[in-house]
Amino acid sequence: MKKIFLLITVTATVFVAAAQTNVIKITGTKFPFEIVQHWMDEYSKIHPDVQFKLSKAIPLDSADLMIAAHGFRPGELKDDEVAIAVTRYAQLPIANSNRSDLKTLQQKGFTQQDLKNIYFNAQQNRTDNLNEPVTIYRRDKNVCASRSFAENVTGNQLDVAGDLVNGDDRALSNAVKNDVNGISYNNLGLIYNLKTRRVADSIAVIPIDLNGNGKIDADENIYATLDDVLNFLSASNNNTIPQDNVNIVINKNTISKNALNFLNWIITQGQQYNRSYGFFDLDKTVVLQEQKLLNNLSNDNALAK
C-alpha cells in the first residue's frame, strides 16, 4: 500500500510539474495587453495544452515574456536577454474636442519643431502655435510609450514638460477629456474607438504636419478613421509620426520551447489581428529576422525543457 501511495504521489508531482512548464507567464507595459490577450486566446484554440497568465502583478524575474514598447539602446539588455519585435504602434497629439482654437490647430497641425517646443519645453508649451491656454498632461513615470514618444520627437530620453497624471495611458486621454485646455499624446488604440474606428468622444487629433510647410495638405489629412491612419503607416516610409515596435524581452537561456513557438506564431499568423486593436504589422524583413532568431534559439541545446 505504501508503494502504491508513493507511486501516486510521485506521478501527481510529475504531472503538476509538467503542467506548470506549460504555463507562459507574461507581464510588462500594459497598453498592449488587449492584443496580447487576443493572441493568447487564438493560440489556445490550436494549442489547448499551453496555458497563459497575463498580469502586471507577475514579478519581472519570474515572467517568461516581458512586454516593452520601446527600442533598446546598446547595453540596456542583459547579456542573457533578447528582444523580439511582435507588432508596431504609433502615437498622435490629442486635444479636448471643445477647445476653442481646435479648428485652427487642425488646419495648421504640429511640425516636428512644434512637438519639441510644446511637449518638451515648459516655457514654450503654453504659447508656441497655440492661441489659447494649454495644459500639457504627461504620465507620472517615464514608461514605455512616454519614452518612445520622447525619443521619436527629440532623439533623447526626455520627460514631457507638463502636469503629472497618475495611472496608465488611459489616464492621459481621460485628463484631456476633462479639461478643455488639455493637450497630450496617446497610442492609436486609446485615441480611436476600436468598434466605430472614429476618434473617441471628447478628444480630437491634432494632425502632424508631415512636410513642415505650416499647414495640413490634403494628402496629410489622414486622421478621420483609425484605418486611414493605419493604411498610411503601412504604406509609407514617413516616420514623422512617432512610432515604435512592441517588443517581447526573453531570457535566451531559460525560455521554453512553448514560449518560443508562441512568439513565432505571433509574428506570422498573429499579425492578422493587429489592426483590430490599433496596431500595424511588422515589416516583412523584420519578421524574417525575428523568425531566424527564434529558430536559432529553439535549436539551442541550452534551452530549458
Q: What is the pLDDT of residues 257-304, one digit of tens each?
A: 999 999 999 999 999 999 999 999 999 999 999 999 999 999 874 444
CA 256 to CA 264: how far, in whole Å? 13
Question: Yes or no: is domain 65-305 CATH 3.40.228.10?
Answer: no
The pTM of the full predicted model, rounded to 2 decimals, is 0.90
Q: Which three cell numbers stand for residue 270?
A: 498573429
Decide: 199 and 172 in contact? Cβ < 8 Å: no
Length in residues, the chain? 305
Q: pLDDT grade, residue 243 (50/70/90)?
A: very high
DSSP string, 247-294: EEEEETTT--HHHHHHHHHHHHGGGGGTGGGT-BPPPHHHHHHHHHHH
Q: Please report, for the chain, the start and end positions of each structural domain, with discontinuous segments joined by +.
A: 65-305
More confident residue, 14 or 226: 226
- pLDDT, average across residues 233-248: 95
14: confidence class by pLDDT, cuts 50, 70, 90: very low
Confidence grade of residue 127 (pLDDT, cut at 50, 70, 90) = low
Predicted local confidence at residue 21, as pLDDT:
60
Q: How confident is the model at residue 249 (pLDDT cuts 50, 70, 90)?
A: very high
Whether residue 5 has pLDDT greater than 60:
no
